[in-house]
A and B are shown apart, each in its own frame.
Chain A
Amino acid sequence: MSEITLGARRPVIVRRRRWRIPGAAIPYLFLAPATLWYAAFLVYPMLQSLYVSFFDWDGLSPSMTFVGLENYINIFAVDDVARLALWNNILWTLGALVLPTLFGLLLALALNRRAPASTLFRTIFYSPAVLPLVAVGLIWAWMYNPHFGVVNVTLKAVGLRSWANGWLSDYTMALPATFVTFIWSHVGFPMIFYLAGLQAISKEYYEAATIDGANAFQRFRHVTMPGLAETHVIVLSLAVINGFKVFDLVYTMTYGGPGRSTQVLGTWMYFQTFQYYHAGYGSALAWVIAAIVLVIAIPYIRRMSRG
């Protein structure tokens, strides 16, 4: 398909080119729009927050007090909630690396075929992502409601009364329950990435493997998995990054409670910045989150995508 297009258009293009750009400049020209845009509207505001993180500032007053590294020191030395939040983030990230990812891969394998039902299924598994957060929060709060929620009602109906639980109101269950909602709403994400990745694997490899007598499992191990290497890097590194940045779902579903039991770094940063009027401290927390993410994700991405 593409060859034909190329052949037809080629002469026109050659004629139109009047001047030559020096070859060495070409990559930078491609990069220029994105770089400028990104530097102006993401890097610059982020650097401003870096500046603020060295100050004691309520985010409102005209004046702010320079405190050096105090905000950063306090995060690690004084703030118990930040420590709990970090632990919650680690648990969340480990879960996010395994469960939705594996689920998404399995779904993609099952749905990577041309059948009308596949389109329908894909839409269904991706569909939670279309719901606005307010709907997700509301519906799942109802489903988990200890009094009338469909989860407890179902458990009682099938004879698992002892499994009925306070869910979001329970100190130990609140975070896992929120995570179940996360799986529900995010599984479509790795799924469509794996679907796109699977389609980039040439059918000939499978045919060759079959001729060599490989069974389904061997084909999966030796053709599918290596073919998905690039997709794995994307899916897994995003799982780590978003695992440490998680904010909206936790904020909406538990508001960090009961007590502070479900605080994560993202929500704690938001509470500090917007609700406790510690903009400097909140900015420091944001930078700690960013630093953790970068320290974990970048070496992994670099190693996996070398060459």
Chain B
Amino acid sequence: MMSDVRRQRRLEQTVIFLGLLALSLIWLTPFATVVLSAIRGQGDLLARGVFSLPKKIAWGNFAEAWSTGDFSIYFRNSLLLIAMKVPLGIFIAALAAYPLAKLRFRFSGAIFIFFLAGLAVPVQVTLQPLLVMMKQLGIANSLFALVPPYVAFGLPFQIFVLRGFFRLIPSELLEAARLDGASEWTAFLRVMLPLSVPALATLCIIDVLATWNEFLIALVLISAKESRTVPVGLLQFQGEYSSQYTLLMAGILISIVPVIAIFIFLQRYFVAGLTAGAVKG
């Protein structure tokens, strides 16, 4: 009887695993194409076809993409930007989400809607006013010009998500902290944030990727090469009349390494979240 159940479960697991395996192979096909295109010569790629196997492996593409593209500049800028933008943005979003989720006060509904409305805003029409503002602030054309709009455009989404997840944290835990004499600030910092680690990690992942890959604002607000970010830097491989596909792909591969690393690193907090959930119950 018991072994029947176990056998059935094992079968189930195997079927799921095989399904996932097949699906992930499909998911990786485009990636394989990126890799395949990054490690061969341009002539080989274009004449023999994108989906053929390389005649000769051209590892030199990576070094060439790095140096001709001045990638070190863009890499430094993008990483610096993430270091500035992500913690700042998520922290002030969490600050705002906390009262919206857990405190009762006048206009809370209206304020929530006010933030939600920001989700509907198409960024494209704000580019010009933003550039004028950054000029007035004296930071146009520097990396710092990107922080205000990036944080602002991230807020509605982050507040919306965090408010949702904060609501899942039982209010009794906060109540207990308050009874222990903790201020609202302490309750937020020592109870709410630690219990929301999975949600915060999720947001961090999304935010890091969105920041790393943002193109339009970075393109328009920054014209100096020294302040450009990776996605704008990739443009250089696309000339007026031709594209250096292989270098572009090599550049892309280089550019996704840190993001994948961050993703894998933050995944640990999903698991940490599992234990936190267990304690809570």
Contact = CB atoms under 8 A, between A and B. Distances in A.
A6 B128 CA distance: 48
Interface stretch (A76-84, A169-177, A188-196): A188-196
A217 interface: no
B263 A40 contact: no
B43 interface: no
A117 B120 contact: no
Contacts, number: 297
Nearest to A306: B109
Nearest to A28: B105
B267 A127 contact: no
Contacts of B100: 31
Interface string A182-200: 0010000100110111011
Contacts of B161: 193, 234
Contacts of A48: 126, 129
A41 B133 contact: yes
Given A132-B231, A153-B51, A123 B122 contact: no
A274 B216 CA distance: 12
Contacts of A305: 163-164, 167
Interface in B158-176: 159-161, 163-165, 167-168, 173
A143 to B, nearest CB: 7
A30 B125 contact: no
Interface string B44-59: 0000011100000000
B50 to A, nearest CB: 5
A45 B164 contact: no
Interface in A260-275: 266, 269-270, 273-274
Contacts of B212: 130
Interface size class of A (residues with CB under 8 A): 35 or more
A125 B133 contact: no
A270 B215 contact: no
A3 B161 CA distance: 25
Contacts of A122: 267
A255 to B, nearest CB: 15
Contact of B279 (A2, A126, A192): A2
B177 to A, nearest CB: 6
Contact of B24 (A125, A136, A197, A238): A125
A167 interface: no
Interface string A1-18: 111011001100110010
A289 B20 CA distance: 37
A2 B202 contact: no
A196 B96 contact: no
Q: Is the interface of A mostly helix, strand, loop or mixed?
A: helix
Contact of B213 (A31, A110, A132, A294): A132
Contacts of B111: 31, 35
B168 A247 contact: no
A27 B103 contact: yes
A158 interface: no
A46 interface: yes
Given A48-B129, A114-B274, A132 B252 contact: yes
A227 B33 CA distance: 40
B202 A148 contact: no
B181 A10 contact: yes
B264 A123 contact: yes
A129 B30 CA distance: 12
A138 interface: yes
A282 interface: yes
Contacts of A46: 121, 125-126
Interface string B205-227: 11001001101100000000000
A134 interface: yes
A269 B122 contact: yes
Interface in A229-285: 230-231, 233-234, 237-238, 241, 245, 247-248, 266, 269-270, 273-274, 279, 282-283
B159 A34 contact: yes
Interface in B173-218: 173, 177, 180-184, 186, 188, 190-191, 194-195, 198-199, 201-202, 205-206, 209, 212-213, 215-216
B252 to A, nearest CB: 5
Contact of A131 (B16, B168, B252, B263): B252
Contact of A34 (B95, B245, B273): B95
12 contacts: A6-B191, A30-B98, A37-B148, A125-B24, A130-B259, A153-B51, A196-B273, A202-B281, A230-B168, A266-B122, A286-B122, A305-B164
Given A42-B155, A192-B205, 12 more contacts: A6-B180, A6-B190, A33-B95, A42-B126, A46-B126, A123-B264, A125-B24, A127-B263, A142-B33, A230-B165, A282-B124, A289-B120
Interface of A: 1-3, 5-6, 9-10, 13-14, 17, 24, 26-28, 30-31, 33-35, 37-38, 40-46, 48-49, 52, 59, 107, 110-111, 114, 117, 119, 121-136, 138-140, 142-143, 145, 148-150, 153, 184, 189, 192-193, 195-197, 199-204, 230-231, 233-234, 237-238, 241, 245, 247-248, 266, 269-270, 273-274, 279, 282-283, 286, 289-291, 293-294, 297-298, 301-302, 305
Q: List the 7 closest pairs (A to B, CB-CB), nearest first.
A: A41-B152, A27-B99, A34-B96, A45-B129, A202-B281, A45-B126, A293-B120
